[in-house]
Amino acid sequence: MIEVLCYGDSNTYGRDPHTSKRYPGDIRWPGVLQNTLGSDYHIIEEALNGRTTVWDDPVRGHTKRNGSLYLLPCLESHTPLDMVIIMLGTNDLKARFSVTAYDIAESMGFLIEIVQRSKSGHNDGTPEILIMAPPPLGTLSEYADTFSGGQKKSKDLAEHYKRTATKYGCAFFDTGTVIRSSQVDGLHFDPEDHALLGQAVAEIVKKTWRVKNV
């Protein structure tokens, strides 16, 4: 069985913009990914609302939301892994962090380094890594103040993530090419976008696996 870890924030967790609750497993994009790929693959969901790449969040529990602190224990918990998919960066756009899209991409690079050094692949190797740029923020409602200035920066994330992926030799996917943030809150994903994302990621995973095992 091919082991794939999905490491993310509320949009991997599956937060419903309509109800603020969690979508059922078959609606969330990792669940769609699992169902699309089938039983030869095991998709591991590791998602936390508010998770950042590397930033401690003083408003939401300080280090608890810092994605870099839990990543290595998570990798070691699920070793050996064939692939690690990371979609983070949206929460880094919050005004309180005062970081640029370039900074966020550099922070993603730090997460990639953790994976590459982790020996969490087979035979102490490195799993394949896919980094995904979240789609740009939409029209924000209740989150407008929290993400003040974030809309413009969110449009630049894909370009910088692509550069980071090239630097580290990772696969890259701009999710904004297939989905958009919900018109309800401008931040989370509607069910149809979870479906589109899961199906698109499934094609990338299959392609990456074929190339690796040719």
Per residue in 62-90, pLDDT (tens digit) is: 788 999 999 999 999 999 999 999 999 99
Q: How far apart are CA 64 and CA 50, in angstroms?
A: 9
Q: What is the residue range of 159's domain? A: 2-212
Query: Taking all residues of the chain, what is their mean pLDDT, rounded to a whole number?
Result: 95
CA–CA distance, 16 with 106 (Å, rounded to integer): 29
pLDDT, position 214: 44
Looking at the 3D structure of the chain, how many domains does it have? 1
CATH of the domain at 126: 3.40.50.1110
Say how far apart CA 124 and CA 130 lie, in whole Å: 19
d(CA 91, CA 6): 17
Q: Determine if the pTM surpasses 0.85.
A: yes
> Distance between CA 78 and CA 69 in Å, rounded?
16
